[in-house]
A and B are shown apart, each in its own frame.
Chain A
Amino acid sequence: MSTPHDSHQELSVSGGQAQPPARFENPGLHEHKPRQADVDPRVTKRVERQVLLLLTLSILGTIAVVWAYFALPPGDTVGSMRLSNLVLGVGLAVCLLGIGIGGNYYIKLLMSNREYVEERHEIRSSDETREIAVQMLKDGGEDSGLTRRGAIIGAGVTALALFPLSLLVPLIGNVGEDWNVRKFKHTIWKKGTRLATDPTGRPIKASDVTIGDVWHVIPESLEDLHEGKLDEKAKAVVLLVRLDPRDLKSDQSPEGETWSHDGIVAYSKICTHVGCPVALYEQQTHHLLCPCHQSTFDVADSCKVVFGPAKRPLPQLPITVDDEGYLVAQGDFAEPIGPSFWERATK
């Protein structure tokens, strides 16, 4: 590799000096090269024709949109709605892209592409300007006369700091309705409220529920509400499952009571994680899966969490049957339903 031999080529960087510089030199701008369209009139003509074509397409696109507006109403069928949307959309796209692509194409190929160099200036103002600015501020402060009157500054700052309260108190006071967050802890389930199907509101007989069935349940009394129906429904929805009583390992009822009826159990449908409706039931494993974040609850075992981001079991609705054989609640849930909140476990 080290065979010495002659060369007439010199390294440009060494420049024949004894000491090479510490850094390379910026070689300066590339030589400006003309484009084909700059030198070949046939290419220029061709590009001009293409730009004209694109702009003409745009005009046709606008005409197509206006025509489609009148000629293709959305109508009553899925097909006519789709067609209307498609023609309007494609027409608008042609109208816009014709202008956009045509213009850019023209700039790219026919407009001068010579690069210019501009000097930058330091962003900061000069020392002189700074001095003047500082002096101006000082003069302004002096003229205001406030520098000598500390009490007025203090009172002024306090007044300004307090003033937003006059707006915020009415705003915040009103915005949260009655601020009674204890409502989170109760639902409209009461002793004797019949369990009804969601959304028809038909009460459910225990004998109608067969093993393996899953019922989406609302309280029958929900229909009687005139106001806040969705608010109450959001808390009261329940999932009803009938298991083979031999499969039911446990439920949440305390010693000496029973909250289930012959293998029928009812659990709140609102996930204890962040409140999605837990709606996917797997018959084989008795697992309930929340489709939002995949918290999994074991219906056969007090709805304990077996996987996922929820911590607490779904609260159980104590149920029994009334004289006519309809499923009814023994009372409200024993604990607040749904996602955790700070005061959840307080009295």
Chain B
Amino acid sequence: MSDLKTAPSRGAKAAGATADYLDQRTGVGNAVKFFARKVFPDHWSFFLGEIALYSFVTLLISGVFLTLFFVPSMAETHYEGPWPSMNGVEMSEAFSSTLRLSFEVRGGLLMRQIHHWAALIFMASIVVHMFRVFFTGAFRKPREINWVVGFVLLILGLAAGFSGYSLPDDVLSGNGLRITDGVVKAIPIIGSYLSYFIFGGEFPGTDLIPRLFTVHILLVPGLILALIGLHLFLMVMHKHTQYPGSGRSNTNVVGYPALPAYAGKLLFNFFVVFGVIALMAGTMSINPVWNYGPYDPSPVSAGAQPDWYMLFLEGSLRLMPGGTEIMLGSYTLSLNVIIPAMIVPGILFTLLGAYPFIEAFATGDKSEHHVLDRPRNRPFRTAFGVSLLVAFGILVLAGSNDLIATHFHMSINDITWAFRVLIFVGPWLAFLITKRICLGLQRKDRELVLHGHETGRIVRYASGEYIEVHKPLDAHERWLRVQHEAIRPLEIEPAEDSRGVRRKGYKADRLRQRLSQLFYEDRVEPVTPAELAAAHAAHGHHDDHAVETPHGVPAQVGAGAPASETAADERNH
């Protein structure tokens, strides 16, 4: 320590000289000045997006290893190698090289398993991160564009996963491709040609694996990298959102400086993510293609599931009754495939991607938002998000209906019928229940602010009256529960002006008002200082007695007050 205070050491001199050299040629000093102590808010949920980023880096590292040994060819060969059950079996070069990679390349199996586990975690963390952003309203102005960038990354992630999953040319992924072919063929008018476009002729052809390889290692990762760059650039430019709390506002950002804590966490979190994936890959087998065998159009095994992020499509296909295929003259319109494989996911994804714009339209809000919402304070949005997730969850379960049937000894037809009903009822119920829970939690917040924590201490007054002592919230606890804006349904100008002339644009306004009412009619508003003062006056002051417990006792939230018919009765005037 004392060295630093005296003459600069040789190391410090060298560092200074290097910095000077670089700065004179790149002006890097400006960048360091901009970044080095830039403040980033911290919260565990901000780590979710990081997991996605680091599993992607893990994918790139393990992927480069795999490309050195994988042969993307559908040329026929016969396997010779240490795996006895495949000896002499006719297979493609792709499958044969996958076996070689698994059994003969040292560490090859580990890299394959790291790659596959990382892909599953990549998709999972994207989805969880996306819903963190959704439920906390982080997508609001000015971040709508970044939401769309993230949404496109989700789609690209699906494309990356799907194209990579099919590369080993095993029987399981081959059947997945055959299903893809069936879905593509169902597209009206151009379906057959699109199938030729993809497969270079009839299914399966000999072009597909090389084509998927190019898509998987060049096109999609290139786009993902570019969009990750844009995603992070926008994140830095906007400065990260922060959770509500004491000292945090829409005009500031509270957190740790990039150097040292934040940058350090960024770096070490990568090692944690990669390390966990390595542990999974070392101990848990995934996609053992050597047990499935090479692709052959004839066999198929029961209980075969695609990777989890594709299960919803599979479930959707399973639920659709076949009677919906119709003939238009002599042309076949396979609504039994088009609806579940394209229209239903299309609706779910469009709603998700367009949500920030729908909400902004309904809210009529043009201001910037940098403080996140607590999900309970936006009951419609939270309920809507949960119902999307429930719809997705039901489709995932429906994609596993055969496993449910064999594990629980139930009729597969009954299960399918149950899911056919649930896909309509489930999201709707989830919406209602979630909204009620949110309103209940908000009421609980109000009650806490107005009446304080129950202490369980009963006091008897000289007059003979018994009261329970309530401990009022301290300013920090209270702020968390009252800081949010109460959004009320939009009010619009009447259809006719004072002279009885119909106003232009009334219909659009009316639509917007309806939407706004749907979003914000039911609401619980935060306590105002006047209300708190009134509550205290009404209670007298015995709430404030004998408060000895240290402040900062965690607030009791979670058990909602019984929800009455409507929340509107809690409205302020």
Instruction: Enumerate chain A interface residues (CB-CB to B < 8 A).
Output: 1-7, 9, 11-14, 20-24, 26-30, 69, 73-76, 81, 84-97, 99-104, 106-107, 111-113, 115-120, 122-123, 172, 175-179, 181, 183-184, 198-199, 216, 218, 228, 230-231, 233-235, 237, 269-271, 273-277, 279-280, 291-295, 305, 307-312, 338-347
Contact = CB atoms under 8 A, between A and B. Distances in A.
A296 B7 CA distance: 85
Interface in B227-262: 237-239, 246-257, 260-261
B246 A30 contact: yes
A178 to B, nearest CB: 7
A340 B325 contact: yes
B281 interface: yes
A5 B300 contact: no
A304 to B, nearest CB: 11
B279 A309 contact: no
Interface string B176-211: 001101110111111111011100111111000000
Given A293-B317, A339-B334, A231 B192 contact: no
Interface stretch (B16-24, B375-383, B525-533): B525-533
A118 B38 contact: yes
A277 B142 CA distance: 51
Contacts of B268: 99-104, 107
A339 B298 contact: no
Contacts of B188: 342
B413 A307 contact: yes
A230 B82 CA distance: 26
Nearest 9 A/B pairs, CB to CB: A89-B282, A274-B182, A100-B271, A96-B275, A29-B247, A103-B268, A100-B272, A97-B275, A177-B201
Contacts of A280: 302
A1 B539 contact: yes
Given A76-B82, A118-B253, A275-B181, 9 more contacts: A3-B465, A14-B533, A24-B479, A96-B271, A104-B269, A111-B260, A116-B256, A341-B192, A341-B332
B280 to A, nearest CB: 8
A99 B269 CA distance: 9
B163 interface: no
Given A116-B257, A176-B193, A231-B204, A311 B336 contact: yes
Nearest to B202: A231
Contacts of A102: 268
Contacts of B413: 307
B107 interface: yes
Given A90-B282, A276-B179, A117 B254 contact: yes
Contacts of A183: 202
A339 B181 contact: yes
A5 B239 contact: no
Most buried by B among A87, A178, A274: A274
A181 B187 CA distance: 14
A342 B317 contact: no
A9 to B, nearest CB: 4
Given A234-B297, A308-B322, A120 B251 contact: yes
Given A27-B246, A274-B337, A343 B331 contact: yes
Q: Interface majority SS on A: helix, strand, loop or mixed?
A: loop
Interface in B80-112: 82, 103-104, 106-107, 109-110
A75 B105 CA distance: 10
Contacts of B179: 274-276, 292
A11 B535 CA distance: 11
Contacts of A199: 296, 298
Nearest to A70: B106
Interface stretch (B147-155, B351-359, B427-435, B540-548): B540-548
B365 to A, nearest CB: 15
15 contacts: A9-B544, A74-B103, A89-B113, A91-B282, A93-B282, A96-B271, A118-B38, A120-B250, A228-B202, A274-B182, A277-B299, A280-B302, A339-B337, A340-B325, A342-B188
A181 to B, nearest CB: 4
A273 B336 contact: yes
A65 B538 CA distance: 71
Contact of A231 (B109, B203, B331, B465): B203
A273 B322 contact: yes
A107 B265 CA distance: 7
Interface string B112-148: 0110000000000000000000000000001000000
Contact of A26 (B196, B247, B264, B325): B247
Given A26-B247, A184-B192, A234 B204 contact: yes
